[in-house]
Structure formats: structure tokens, C-alpha cells
Structure 1
Amino acid sequence: MKLVKSYSARAFVTIIFPVLALSACETVQTTQGGVVGVDRSQRMALSAQQLDQAAAKQYVELIAEEKKKNNVNRDPAQVARVRTISNRLIAQTPAFRPDAKAWQWEVNVLTSAEVNAWCMPGGKIAVYTGLIDKLKVTDDELAAVIGHEISHALREHARERASEKMVAGSVISIGSALLGVGSLGQQGAEYAYMGVIGLPNSREHEREADRIGVELAARAGYDPRAAITLWQKMGQVGGSAPPTFLSTHPSSADRSSDLTAYAQRVMPLYLQTKNR
């Protein structure tokens, strides 16, 4: 009887819960494929509105806090440079998402030694002065990093990751309770999830953002090959990189190879724009 009970519980977890988890998701195509051909379908358990509202709240709070420290847009020339590049990239987003044209885009420069930039869901962009100053980025390289971050927003990677965690957390918690594996077993299941699903998906997101980013740059008239030198500079300031299988980013060699191939693919777009 004990064996039957155990088998029933395991069958319920392995068969019923994945079905329930998947049924709670919707399959979406957040972007058009573009020349780079990013056309992977995505499973979403959260609505875009839910995440956009949370992101907007977080953004307002973050900018307000940084303004108190006088860290927002302190250098007018630097801000003008970042906004000019960003606006040229934003103008190309309808090639992947026609609705992005109506987003409430906002671009700010934050004074921080951190080498970082981001684009929140809905089009809120921030570039840190540490990235500009420490990497001594060219306009083409700055377009590469901003284009990469915009691409994450266009593909709604944050929504996808949040959906994955929400579904996985529910399945792991309920499954662990039914199987009686305890907290240690649940922790092991969470680590297994991250190793098998979580981190590889995150690396896939990075690849997609790289590829869409170089196309946005090329369409905006920036040399897409600058993405290669940008990430080489990033690697130099990043210190010792973790092994690929534990990293949320592709390895330096993999990323360089992929960027080289896709930058070449979009070169005709760049040359066409440059020669107008």
C-alpha cells in the first residue's frame, strides 16, 4: 500500500502538475523575427499589464531615490549623447514590435561607478556613467548595449522569467509536500530547476537580445560589429567569469562567435542606412 501511495503521488506530480502549469500559461509571439530570425514562441503565466504596472512602480521609486542623491542626468552633454543614440534605436523598434512605437519611452543617465544599463518593461531606459567612463565606449558600442537592453524589453524576457519562476515555484512546493521530501528535497528540486531550465533559458534570452540588438543598431545606422568589441570590454572589467553551465550569460567565446555571425547578417542593413 505504501508503494502504491508513493507511486500515485509521484504520478500526480509528474503528470498532472505540468499539465496544470502549462494550462495556466498562454503562448505568445512577442516580436516579429526580423532579419536575425528570432521567432521562438514564449509561454507566459503573467499578463503584460501585471508586469508593466510592477515595473512602472519600481521605476518611479528608483528614479526618485536617485534624484535625492543628485545622481540623475548630471552631465547635459552625456545625457544628450545617450538620448540621441537611444532615440535612433527606439525609432527602429517597430521592425520587431509595431506597438512599441506607442510605449512611454524614457531615457536617463545615472551617476554610478557600476558598469550597467537596463531597459524596464514598457521602455524605461537607464545607462550608468560607469559603463560610459570605464569602458570608454564609442557611439557604436553604446548603441550595442542600449540596443541589447531594449531587445530584452521588446521580447518581454522579464515577464517570461517571472512566469517561469511562478509556475516552477508552485509545482516544486506542491510536489515536495505530496512526496514528503522535506525542505532539503525541495531545495534540491529548486537547484535542479535552475540548472536544467532556469539558467539555460536565461542564456537563450541573452542570445536573443544580442541578435535583435545588432539588428536595431544596424537599422539605426550604427556599426553592428561594435557589439563584439563592447562585450570584449565588458569581459575585461568583469573579472573571472563563471563556467558557462553556471552562468546566465553565454561564454565569452560563444557570444563573440554568435555576434560575429549575426553582425555580418545585418551588415547590408547598416550599409544601406549609412549610404542614404
Structure 2
Amino acid sequence: MKKSKTLMAALALALASLCASLPVVAQDDGIPVTRMSRLRGLGGDARQFDQQSKLQYDQMLAQAHQKDAVATDRNPQLIRLRAIAQRLIPFTTRWNPDSANWKWEVNLLNSPTVNAFCMPGGRIAFYNGILVKLNLTDDEVAMVMGHEIAHALREHAREQAGKNAITSVGARIFGAIGSAYFGVDPRLGDAAAGAVAQGAALSFSRDDESEADLVGLDLAARAGFDPRAGIALWQKMGAVNKSQPLPFLSTHPSGSKRIEDMDKNMYLVLPVYARARGLDPDNLPPYRSLALPKS
């Protein structure tokens, strides 16, 4: 009996020791990770897509170098961008495990254009205009960068290529059926088919933009950047871009719609941000943006 109790105690101690040595699995909070669209497969081979992306990025840089429009490694704004990227990149594998093997690159183009992008494979470029004209804080830069990185992580470009292939084929069939069944001029059928395809493509792009907003929020929050900066960013965008196209005709959701969607999901990312910064999620200091430059 004593031997049995001793054996049980030893087993319990060994089990406790084993459990203590196991890694603690963190709660899967933040923006939920969803499966990427299977339509990516219709957009071409991923490796070939990456090679084409690298070629396009390198050509863009070569042309910018010819115009002396690429910031040097000593440029303070480029140093800032690369430091922010280094904080975001470790969290990208949550959204796409392949990103662990990407050859990440960050460059700054000396142009007044208010834009930034991240091509497949982690090739990031910012235009100086978006930093200067919007007077972005580091948190707001992280929102822009996280959003652009999200497009690459979720392979939106390859997905869009697959969607376009389907809608173009489907639209041609629609046009042919309409021409044959209703007796309309085939050219009119083709025109209608083109309108259908274009409308579908615009809708798909808006969906991608909305997903990128939320993935970007998640990346930034995990890296310790305040996700409330996303709302401040689009408020600035709205103030600068008074002539924004109507949302229905735009490939991007309206600024107000983006702010609304971010606000609805803020409860998911604020605790993640608080944990990253060691703050009390119920007692966060207010977010402070920077005023727009005087025109």
C-alpha cells in the first residue's frame, strides 16, 4: 500500500514537472485569422508570382534611382520606416506562415505622392508625401505599413488575378447568353458583360481593403502600436482628400466606412496592444495624433 502511494506521488510529481516545462499557449486574441481564398490558385503559381513581383519592384527602384528619387540608408525617415517594419514583421507569420522566408525590403521614394505599398514577398515602399502631408506619428505609419503588408500576407494580388479570371469568363458567358436569348446586338452583350466584370472586381477590391485594414490593426497592436491611430489616420485622409470618389465607384471603402469598421473591432485589438505595452487595457491613456501641416 505504501509502495503504491509512493509510486502515485512520484507519478504526480513527474506529471507536474512535465506540465511546468511545457510552453504556455497564449490566448488567440485579436482579429481572428481566417482561411485565405482558394481563388489564389487561379491567379498563377505563387513562386512565379513572387518572381514577377521582385522584377517589377527592382525595375521601379532602378527607374527611381535614375531620377535620384530613392532615399539613402542615412535618411532619417527611411531609418524610421525600417525600425517600424522590424517591429511588425515578427508577427506576420500569424497571417501567413510563408512570410518567415520572405526577403523583406523597405525603401522610401522622394515623391509628393500620398501613397505606400507592399508587393508580394515583403517588398515595401513609402512615398515621402504620405509622411509629410499627413504628418504621421509612428503609430499612424504602423497603420499604413500594417495595412499594406496585410495585402501581401493575404495574397490579395494573386487572389484578385484569380477573381478577375473567373469574372471575365463568367461575364463573357453572360454576354453570349444575353445576345442569343434576347436577340440583342452581340457588341451590346459584350459591353454589358464588361460592366458586370468591372463591378465585381471593384467589389472584390473593397473586400480586400477592408480585410487589410483589420489585419493591419492586428499586426500593429501586437507590435505595440496604438490601433486607435488607424481612426486618426483616416480622419486625416478625409481632411486632406476632400474630392474622394463615391464609395460605390471606388476600389476603396469610404473613409467613414473604414473608421466605422475599425471602431467595431477595436475591442479585439486594444487588449493586445495593452499587453504588448504592459498597460492596463481598462485604463489606457488617450491617443494623441499630430496636427496636419498648415497649407
TM interval, shorter chain, is: 0.7 to 0.9
Q: Secondary structure at the match of 1:127?
A: strand
User: Is the counterpart of residue 210 in structure 1 residue 208 in structure 2?
Assistant: no
8 Å contact 2:205–2:251 — kept in the other structure? yes
Residue 23 of structure 2 corresponds to none
User: Is the counterpart of residue 36 in structure 1 residue 40 in structure 2?
Assistant: no
Residue 97 of structure 2 corresponds to 98
Residue 117 of structure 1 corresponds to 116
Residue 235 of structure 1 and its aligned partner are, at CA, apart by 1.9
The residue correspondences of 1:122-137 to structure 2 (distance < 5 A) are 122-137=121-136
Residue 7 of structure 1 corresponds to none
Residue 126 of structure 1 and its aligned partner are, at CA, apart by 0.2
- Which residues of structure 2 form unaligned runs of 5+? 1-27, 280-295
Residue 263 of structure 1 and its aligned partner are, at CA, apart by 2.7
Say how many residue pairs are matched: 243
Residue 55 of structure 2 corresponds to 57
User: Is the counterpart of residue 240 in structure 1 residue 243 in structure 2?
Assistant: yes
8 Å contact 1:207–1:255 — kept in the other structure? yes
The one-letter amino acid paired with 2:186 is G
8 Å contact 2:31–2:214 — kept in the other structure? yes
The residue correspondences of 1:131-150 to structure 2 (distance < 5 A) are 131-150=130-149
Structure 2 CA distance for partners of 1:41 and 1:151, relative to 1, 3 Å: closer
8 Å contact 1:214–1:262 — kept in the other structure? no
Whole-angstrom CA distance in 2 between matches of 1:40 and 1:189: 30
Residue 168 of structure 1 and its aligned partner are, at CA, apart by 2.4
Larger Rg: 2
Instruction: Select between 101-110 and 177-186 the one with higher mean Cα deviation.
Output: 177-186
The one-letter amino acid paired with 2:60 is L
2:194 alignment partner, one of 172, 175, 190: 190
Residue 261 of structure 1 corresponds to 264
Q: Secondary structure at the match of 2:114?
A: coil
Residue 236 of structure 1 and its aligned partner are, at CA, apart by 1.9
The residue correspondences of 1:212-227 to structure 2 (distance < 5 A) are 212-227=215-230
Whole-angstrom CA distance in 2 between matches of 1:264 and 1:67: 44
8 Å contact 2:29–2:268 — kept in the other structure? no
Instruction: Select between 233-242 and 264-273 the one with higher mean Cα deviation.
Output: 233-242
Residue 97 of structure 1 and its aligned partner are, at CA, apart by 1.8
- Which residues of structure 1 form unaligned runs of 5+? 1-32
Q: TM-score normalized by structure 2?
A: 0.77
Residue 65 of structure 2 corresponds to 67
Whole-angstrom CA distance in 1 between matches of 2:229 and 2:133: 16
Q: TM-score normalized by structure 1?
A: 0.82
8 Å contact 2:164–2:197 — kept in the other structure? no
Residue 241 of structure 1 and its aligned partner are, at CA, apart by 2.1
Aligned-residue Cα RMSD (Å) equals 2.0
Whole-angstrom CA distance in 2 between matches of 1:249 and 1:116: 13
Residue 37 of structure 1 and its aligned partner are, at CA, apart by 2.0
The residue correspondences of 1:153-168 to structure 2 (distance < 5 A) are 153-168=152-167
Whole-angstrom CA distance in 1 between matches of 2:173 and 2:112: 43
Instruction: Select between 45-54 and 156-165 the one with higher mean Cα deviation.
Output: 45-54
